[in-house]
Structure 1
Amino acid sequence: MGNEQTPQIAPTTPTPQRPTGQETVFAGAAQRTVDRLRALWDLVTDRPVSLYAASVLRIGYGLLYLVFLLREFPHRDEIWGPGSPWTPALAHQLFEQTGWNSILTLSDSRAYFELCYAVALLTSALFMLGWRTRAMSVLFAVVVISFHARSILMTDGGDNLVLLMAVYLVLTACGRRWSLDARRNRLKAARAGDTPEPVRSFTSQELRDARSTLTTVVHNCGIFVIAAQVCFLYGSTGLYKVQGASWGSGTALHYVLNLELFQPWPALSHLVDEFPLPIAIAGYMTVLLQVAFPFVLFGRLKYPVLALLLGMHIGIAVLLGLPLFSGAMIIADAVFLPDRFYAFLPRLRRRAAQRTGMRRPTPGPAAGAGSVPSQGRPGAPSSKHRANPADQKDTTLTTERS
């Protein structure tokens, strides 16, 4: 018994367990979620989007508010000035309830009001032209807020959207295209020529990249907020109309056309009202377009919808006498047009000029129809493709010339 040996059991290697179907599905879903989050992060931080659309909004709202102030110039005292029935005392009482404020109520002097009005006209013009756009955007928002809050019950309500867009445009880089700032940057790059850029320290370069990324993120968030605001406006308006019996019966536009308050040309309103069937179809189409608008933005169907909405707003401006509201909505819809559309417009104009013989063709290779200029900050490389210091000069010249 003593010479017997205890048999040794060889250690067994645990066989790896294959993942079950549920675990595979869970891992795939998690990976897809991570990929989507990464793509969303790249979209927000990689480069500024819709620079041309932001410039169109800047030009449109600056011009619209400038025309609005010029149109009301003979009545400025009755609407916003010391002679307004909505006195500064009443305005201060409303400010206590709403939290608004206005630079127009800082003084009751007629000279001070005229100075503020002149500053508002100058600010709107400079903002539209894109001169020192970053500072002008802030000043333009202050002007719009001040005039809106001073006599909130004296206007037609179309300036509500202008007020929101003026605040949102402060966040955007709306001066990168079609502006005096962009022209100054192009001339500066042309004068620099082949002069090499100064060598920056590592800390200075990192701070510059962080500033460029922060500007890009703020701009993209501003564009997304503008798009969401327009979608919410159309969707909520359409759902509100669905609840009304007159819109369901197709008679809403008939009643609107017979309101004396919204009849700039009564004869035209009565003429249109003589066609009940087209009016009923237009009412149903209005509700359908507004409700469906947020759901057609990610396909080609948005282009005919935008065209129909353009016709609808023109009809509102002409038949109901609301040009400020219609203009604000038409300009807001421009945010949904891609940059390749705006980049194609100058080429289309040059082609039309060449066909009519007004301008000789410019020598040199023509840009492709689908090419869009780089949207990054002039001289700043993308977050994915960092350029070498020796290549930054060529990147700057290429960006500014486009």
Structure 2
Amino acid sequence: MTTEAPGRPARLARAVLVPRATYQAAVLRIGLAAVIAAFLLREWPHRRVLYGDRSPLSYDLALTLIQEEGTFSVLGWWGGRLWFEIVYTVTVLAALAVMAGWRTRATAVLLMVGLVSLENRNPLVGDGGDNILRIMVIYLVLIRCAQVWSLDARRARRARRSAGDGAGSRDPVGVALWAVLGALLFWAFGFPPPVGWPLALWLLWAVQGLWYVVHRASGARELRSVLDGCAAMAHNAGMVVIGAQVCLIYATAGWYKIQGTRWQEGSALYYALHLDYFALWPWLSAALAGNALLVLALTYLTVAVQVAFPFTLANRRLKNALLAVMIAEHAGIAVLLGIPFLSLVMIVCDLVFLPTSFLTRLGAWCARLTRRGRSAPVAPSGRSGPSVSAGSGEAGRPPAATAEPTPVG
């Protein structure tokens, strides 16, 4: 009894003060940013009609709606086309930067502000996928999603190798980005900022500046530990909330379906396949709707999977099997009903529940592919020669070109 007591606080501290599920957070970061970038690029020809100066919801009506609902949109500052094009383009670039993990703390905030501003400019054209994106992109700011598989992680490893365990290295790019964002905040909201989104953005900006100053100071080791612990706690809490949010989405959808007559009798999918709005390939929808037994099984399976998913998290094997079924179901919805982005968002949310062992093996496999691509010799004529296997070289070691380990990010 006496030997186990001192270990319990240490185990509790490791559980709370160490970032958990960092690979799952990286998957969420990459997936969400990729979906947002793909959506905005796809709607690029129609951007002005959806959210800009050609929208059926005029600028004055949008301002009235924003004020009545108490939402936030930087597009409400000015109704001109130039400002809209700047916001739209910066949001696309921020999505690409977050996907690559470049300056993730700053670019994640830019992505959140840009996406929320576009969605709130014309909420009448959104669907369930837009709602999930708005929620998850806010959570993305609170978690440490660039610990692995990011350019930030590679830069941090290089800084640790060069500086050791002492103070952090200088970061002129980060300081310049922080100063520019501070000037934009002061121009937009002034100081002191009003309560709401302006105050939250100012707090994020101030915390980032404090983080840099403390990690640059050589005698602030204890304060650095406190800040790291607070960031880890915020990250762990954010990942728990993200998992709970996904479970709530599935449970709510499943229990609402149970109350519907069409879902109870097993014919809901049949009627959905006959809606012209969702008939991406009419011949495929007609072929599936013609099989009554398959329609009945898929309808009941959809309800059962959504209702049962939150209760399967305690069993790893059952949870993993159900994840595969749900991912296949969302892929089928994207193909049959023509709702690709809603399906992609839900698939990204499902990937948060993947086991860490699978994600680490996936990362190692991608790293091996990267090493093989880099170590492939180039023929004098410009054509790539045969790839070098991992066991080639002297005494079974890799050649000198691949001796340095490839960064995970």
Could you tell me how far apart the structure 1 residues matched to 2:244 and 2:9 are?
21
Give the structure 2 partner of residue 317 of structure 1: 334
Root mean square deviation, CA, Å? 3.2
Deviation at 1:41, TM superposition (A): 4.6
Amino acid of the structure 2 residue aligned with 1:311:
A
Could you tell me how far apart the structure 2 residues matched to 1:40 and 1:151 are?
48
Deviation at 1:144, TM superposition (A): 1.2
Could you tell me how far apart the structure 1 residues matched to 2:24 and 2:250 are?
19
Give the structure 2 partner of residue 247 of structure 1: 263
Deviation at 1:115, TM superposition (A): 1.4
Q: Does 1:93 align with 2:122?
A: no
Give the structure 1 partner of residue 183 of structure 2: none
Structure 1 unaligned residues grouped into runs of 5+? 1-33, 367-397
SS in 2 for 1:85: coil
Could you tell me how far apart the structure 2 residues matched to 1:126 and 1:56 are?
14
Q: Does 1:107 align with 2:83?
A: no
Contact 1:50 1:338 (C-alpha < 8 Å) held by counterparts: no
Structure 1 residues 104 and 351, CA gap change in structure 2 (3 angstroms) = closer
Deviation at 1:265, TM superposition (A): 1.6
Structure 1 residues 204 and 136, CA gap change in structure 2 (3 angstroms) = same
SS in 1 for 2:280: coil
- Greater relative CO (CA pairs within 8 A, separation 6+): 1
SS in 2 for 1:336: coil
Aligned counterpart for 1:361 among listed residues 369, 378, 390 = 390
Amino acid of the structure 1 residue aligned with 2:227:
R
Give the structure 2 partner of residue 280 of structure 1: 296
Give the structure 2 partner of residue 14 of structure 1: none
Question: Which string of whole-angstrom CA distances, capped at 9 and with x for unpartnered residues, describes residues 61-112 of structure 1?
Answer: 1111011001000101110011100112221222233211211121121111
Could you tell me how far apart the structure 2 residues matched to 1:77 and 1:276 are?
43
Amino acid of the structure 1 residue aligned with 2:339:
L
Structure 1 residues 350 and 103, CA gap change in structure 2 (3 angstroms) = closer
Amino acid of the structure 2 residue aligned with 1:122:
L
SS in 1 for 2:124: coil
Aligned counterpart for 1:177 among listed residues 105, 126, 148 = 148
Amino acid of the structure 1 residue aligned with 2:59:
P
Amino acid of the structure 2 residue aligned with 1:265:
W
Deviation at 1:159, TM superposition (A): 1.3
Q: How does 1:385-396 map to 2 (within 5 A)?
A: none
Contact 1:234 1:293 (C-alpha < 8 Å) held by counterparts: yes
Deviation at 1:222, TM superposition (A): 0.5
Could you tell me how far apart the structure 2 residues matched to 1:111 and 1:191 are?
44
SS in 1 for 2:127: coil
Aligned counterpart for 1:306 among listed residues 323, 330, 333 = 323
SS in 2 for 1:153: helix
Aligned counterpart for 1:148 among listed residues 115, 119, 122 = 119
Q: Does 1:341 align with 2:358?
A: yes
Contact 1:162 1:328 (C-alpha < 8 Å) held by counterparts: yes
Aligned counterpart for 1:135 among listed residues 106, 114, 119 = 106
Deviation at 1:198, TM superposition (A): 6.3
Structure 1 residues 131 and 248, CA gap change in structure 2 (3 angstroms) = same
Question: Which string of whole-angstrom CA distances, capped at 9 and with x for unpartnered residues, describes residues 356-400 of structure 1?
Answer: x8442168999xxxxxxxxxxxxxxxxxxxxxxxxxxxxxxx9x8
Question: Which string of whole-angstrom CA distances, capped at 9 and with x for unpartnered residues, describes residues 38-79 of structure 1?
Answer: 699546523111101111111111111011001000101110
Give the structure 2 partner of residue 222 of structure 1: 238
Could you tell me how far apart the structure 1 residues matched to 2:11 and 2:270 are?
46
Question: Which string of whole-angstrom CA distances, capped at 9 and with x for unpartnered residues, describes residues 198-242 of structure 1?
Answer: 699997222111111101000000100000000011111111111
Deviation at 1:174, TM superposition (A): 0.5
Aligned counterpart for 1:159 among listed residues 111, 122, 130 = 130
Contact 2:25 2:145 (C-alpha < 8 Å) held by counterparts: yes
Deviation at 1:343, TM superposition (A): 0.7
Structure 1 residues 197 and 205, CA gap change in structure 2 (3 angstroms) = closer
Contact 1:257 1:270 (C-alpha < 8 Å) held by counterparts: yes
Question: Which string of whole-angstrom CA distances, capped at 9 and with x for unpartnered residues, describes residues 304-354 of structure 1?
Answer: 100000010001111111111000000001111122211111334567898
Could you tell me how far apart the structure 2 residues matched to 1:262 and 1:198 are?
57
Could you tell me how far apart the structure 2 residues matched to 1:283 and 1:325 are?
19
Amino acid of the structure 2 residue aligned with 1:360:
S
Q: Which structure has the highest helix share of the two? A: 2
SS in 1 for 2:128: coil
Give the structure 2 partner of residue 264 of structure 1: 280
Contact 2:29 2:98 (C-alpha < 8 Å) held by counterparts: yes
Structure 1 residues 266 and 291, CA gap change in structure 2 (3 angstroms) = same
Contact 1:44 1:217 (C-alpha < 8 Å) held by counterparts: no
Contact 1:95 1:101 (C-alpha < 8 Å) held by counterparts: yes
Could you tell me how far apart the structure 2 residues matched to 1:198 and 1:350 are?
30
Contact 1:231 1:293 (C-alpha < 8 Å) held by counterparts: yes
Amino acid of the structure 1 residue aligned with 2:16:
T
Contact 1:44 1:221 (C-alpha < 8 Å) held by counterparts: no
Structure 1 residues 82 and 343, CA gap change in structure 2 (3 angstroms) = same
Structure 1 residues 70 and 111, CA gap change in structure 2 (3 angstroms) = same
Amino acid of the structure 2 residue aligned with 1:328:
V
Could you tell me how far apart the structure 1 residues matched to 2:269 and 2:30 are?
32
Deviating more after overlay: 161-170 vs 357-366: 357-366
Structure 1 residues 198 and 224, CA gap change in structure 2 (3 angstroms) = closer
Contact 1:48 1:216 (C-alpha < 8 Å) held by counterparts: yes
Aligned counterpart for 2:87 among listed residues 99, 116, 130 = 116
Could you tell me how far apart the structure 1 residues matched to 2:135 and 2:12 are?
26
Aligned-pair identity (%): 40
Contact 1:156 1:322 (C-alpha < 8 Å) held by counterparts: no
